[in-house]
Amino acid sequence: MGLFDRFTRAKARTVSSEMSDARHLADWARSRYGVEAYVEPETTVTELTVVLVAANGEWTRRKVGGERGARRLGQELHIPVYDVRKTGYPQRMRDYDARQRIERRRARAREFE
């Protein structure tokens, strides 16, 4: 094992994880209707991510390799790409989350009956 081997392995893992994230996003977008991409800024805790939101409000979030990666993903999938800082999240995404919370609460209540 060479002195710099551990650095090259770590980079290889990062690239493969970014590719699997991009593959997940592409598969997810192709299996849903009315998908839009929302680019989230980098924070002190997380890297820049993209959120894909379907027409029914269902969503998924992944890293995409920066701003250019998000724009490239949008071009490849033929979907619009928005900046969350400028547009905010779509209301349908919040509505979907609210519906999911209600369904989880009802499921828990049924367990205790």
pLDDT of residue 65: 86
> With helix as H, strand as E and coil as C, how does the chain read?
CCCCHHHHHHHHHHHHHHHHHHHHHHHHHHCCCCCEEEEECCCCCCCCEEEEECCCCCEEEEECCHHHHHHHHHHHHCCCEEEHHHHCCCHHHHHHHHHHHHHHHHHHHHHCC
pLDDT of residue 22: 87
Each residue's pLDDT, cut to its tens digit, for the chain (113 residues) gives: 555 555 555 444 455 677 789 899 999 999 999 999 999 999 999 899 999 999 999 999 999 888 999 999 999 999 999 999 999 999 999 999 999 999 999 999 998 87
Rounded to whole angstroms, how far apart are CA atoms 67 and 6? 28
pLDDT of residue 12: 47
